[in-house]
Structure 1
C-alpha cells in the first residue's frame, strides 16, 4: 500500500493541519504494527517432509459422506491455526477416521488457506471443503499417533491471540488511511472550486 505520508519529514512538514497530522500518525501506527507482526513469524522446523496419501474418487466420496454425518469437529476462531488445533485433530483421529474443521469468522479465501496449512502441519488429507466455512480431513491409511501432537513450529494459544489482535488492528489502520486520503482529496477538490 503506497501512502503519501512516507515522503514527509516530521520537522519540515507543518503538522498543525489536522488531516496531515492524522495521516502521519496513522502511518507511524502502520509501521509499528508491521514491526510487531514480524515478531510472531515462526520459522519452519527442519525435518522429513510428510507426503499425504493419495485417495481415489470412491474413497473421497465415502469419506466426505462419513465426515458430514459425524458430529466431531475442531473449531478455528480468530486465533487461526495454532498448536492446539493440531492437537485436537490428532485427539479426534484417535477414535474417528475423519474430522470436520469449522472456520468461524473466516474471509472468502481463508478456508482454503487454512486447509493447506492444516494438511501440512497435521499430516492429514483434505477430503473436501463444504460450504464457506467447513473442511473435512482424513487421517490417512495406517495412521499412527505422533509422540508430539502439537508441532513445535506453531504459535501457542496466547501468542496466536496477540497476533490476531495486531492483524485486526493493522487492517483497521489500512482502512482508515485509505478513507482519510480519499476524504482529504475530495476536500481539496471542493476548496479549489
Structure 2
C-alpha cells in the first residue's frame, strides 16, 4: 500500500533531460563567457596599476596645492608679527679688544655659573634687559643657546651684540649647549630704558617662533610632496611606455594612500614642549671657539 502511494506521488518529467549535455555546455558558455587568459589578467592588472598611479599623482598634486596655500597664509602671518621688529645694525666704530683680553674673557665667561638661557623665543626686548641687569654687577654675560645649526647660533650672537651694544667675545659649544660670551665694554653706560623699543615683546616673540616653526614644517612637507610626485610620475611614464614592471610592485607601491598624510594629520600640530633650564654646572669646553679673533661678522636682519 505504501509503495503504491509513493509511486503515485512521483511525477514523470516530460521531454528529454539536458543535464550534462552539449546543449547545457553551450548555454553556460554563452551566458558566462570565456575565462580570461593569463595575458588578459596581466593586461587588467596593468590598466589597474596605471589608473591607480594616475589617481595617486592627482591626489599628491591636490595636496601640494593645499600646502602652498597654507604656506602663503603663514608668510602673511609672519610678516604681520614682525611689523614692529626693526633690528639694529652693527655700528662701524666697534670697540675692539686684544687677543689676550679675548682669551681671558673667554676663559672667565665659560667658568661663570650665572647665565641667561635663550629659549625658542630668540632675541626679544626682555633678553636685552636681562643682559643690562647682568652688566650692572659683572663685565661679562653668558648666554646658553640650544640650537642644532651653528649658523643660527652665530646669527643670534651677532644680533645680541648689535642690540645690546656690547662686544662679542666667543661662541663655544659646551655640554649645556652653545655658550655666547658678550663683554659690556670699557666705556659701558647703563641706558635709561633697559628694554629697547625696536624689538618684539615676549608674546610677539612666541608668536613669531610658532609661525617660523609652521613655516619650516610646510617647506619640508612641500619638498617631500614634490619628490613623491616626480617619482610616481616617472613610474607612470615607464608603465605607459610599455616597459616591463613587476605586478606586485605596481599594485603595492611604496607611495600608497596609507603612507600619505591625510588632512587631519596635517592639521594637527605637535605641542610645544617646554625646554627645561639646564643645570648650573660649569660648562666644559669641547672645541675651539666658533668665532674668529677679529669677530668681523656682518649683522643680518632678522
Shift in Å, 1:189: 1.4
Contact 2:87-2:163 within 8 A present in 1 as well: no
Alignment correspondent of 1:29: 70
> Over aligned residues, Cα RMSD in angstroms?
2.1
SS in 2 for 1:158: helix
The answer on 1:100 being equivalent to 2:142 is: yes
Q: How does 1:62-141 map onto structure 2 within 5 Å?
A: 62-131=104-173, 133-141=178-186
Alignment correspondent of 2:224: 179
SS in 2 for 1:55: coil
Choose which of 146, 160, 175 in structure 1 pairs with 2:191: 146
Contact 1:119-1:125 within 8 A present in 2 as well: yes
5+ residue gaps, structure 2, are 1-56, 240-302
Task: State the TM-score, normalizing by the size of structure 2.
Answer: 0.55
| Larger mean Cα displacement after TM superposition, 16-25 or 130-139 | 16-25
Alignment correspondent of 1:164: 209
Shift in Å, 1:43: 4.8
Shift in Å, 1:52: 3.4
Structure-2 change in CA distance of 1:45 and 1:115 (3 Å) = closer
Distance across 2 between alignment mates of 1:99 and 1:74: 8
Alignment correspondent of 1:10: none
Distance across 2 between alignment mates of 1:126 and 1:45: 17
Shift in Å, 1:123: 0.5
Task: State the TM-score, normalizing by the size of structure 1.
Answer: 0.85
The answer on 1:61 being equivalent to 2:103 is: yes
The answer on 1:40 being equivalent to 2:81 is: yes
Shift in Å, 1:106: 4.6
Contact 1:51-1:123 within 8 A present in 2 as well: no
Distance across 1 between alignment mates of 2:153 and 2:221: 26
Distance across 1 between alignment mates of 2:76 and 2:219: 15
5+ residue gaps, structure 1, are 1-15
Distance across 2 between alignment mates of 1:62 and 1:82: 29
SS in 2 for 1:170: helix
Contact 1:111-1:134 within 8 A present in 2 as well: no
